[in-house]
Each structure stands twice: as C-alpha cells, then as structure tokens.
C-alpha cells in the first residue's frame, strides 16, 4: 500500500487501516474560517500540533490538524 514514494519501514505489526492513515493522512492542514483553534505540545522539540474545528449547532462539522 502506497500513496506516494516508498517507505522502508516494516509494517507487519500494523493493520492496513493504520498504514493507510500513515501513508495518506486525511484532514491535514490549516482551516480558513475555523470556529476554534487549539494548540498543544512543545515546538522546540517538534512535538506540536494545532487543531482547527468548524462547528454548527454544537456539533463538529469539520476538523483538521
């Protein structure tokens, strides 16, 4: 299974779904017009994520990171 390129890692211990999400991640990128934005982690060590959410009627309609 490959989205682009070739990765030399051994994938035997992972399910096909986990590999698919790793190779072809969904919901990646900033979200213009997000209703909320959350940040977590330490950017000094590269362990940092920003999550964007669009909500309607108190329900999440879209999310990205």
CA distances 25 to 5, 18, 44, 56, 64, Å, are 14, 10, 24, 25, 11
Give a yes or no: residue 59 inside a domain.
yes
Q: Is the sign of the CA dihedral 27, 29, 34, 40 positive or negative?
A: positive
Question: Could you give the CA distance from residue 46 to residue 9 in angstroms, rounded to a whole number?
Answer: 21
Residues β-bridged to residue 54: 62
What is the per-residue pLDDT for 17? 85
Give a yes or no: residue 45 inside a domain.
yes
The structural domain count of the chain equals 1
Write down the pTM of the prediction. Answer: 0.62
Residues β-bridged to residue 51: 38
> pLDDT band at residue 25, thresholds of 50, 70 and 90?
confident
What is the per-residue pLDDT for 63? 94
Give a yes or no: residue 10 inside a domain.
no
| Domain span including residue 57 | 27-64
Give a yes or no: residue 37 inside a domain.
yes
């Amino acid at each position: 299974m490959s989205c682009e390129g070739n990765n030399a890692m051994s994938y035997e211990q992972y399910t096909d779904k986990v590999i698919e999400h790793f190779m072809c991640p969904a919901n990646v990128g900033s979200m213009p017009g997000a209703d909320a934005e959350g940040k977590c982690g330490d950017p000094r060590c590269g362990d940092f994520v920003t999550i964007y959410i669009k909500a309607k009627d108190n329900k999440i309609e879209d999310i990205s990171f």
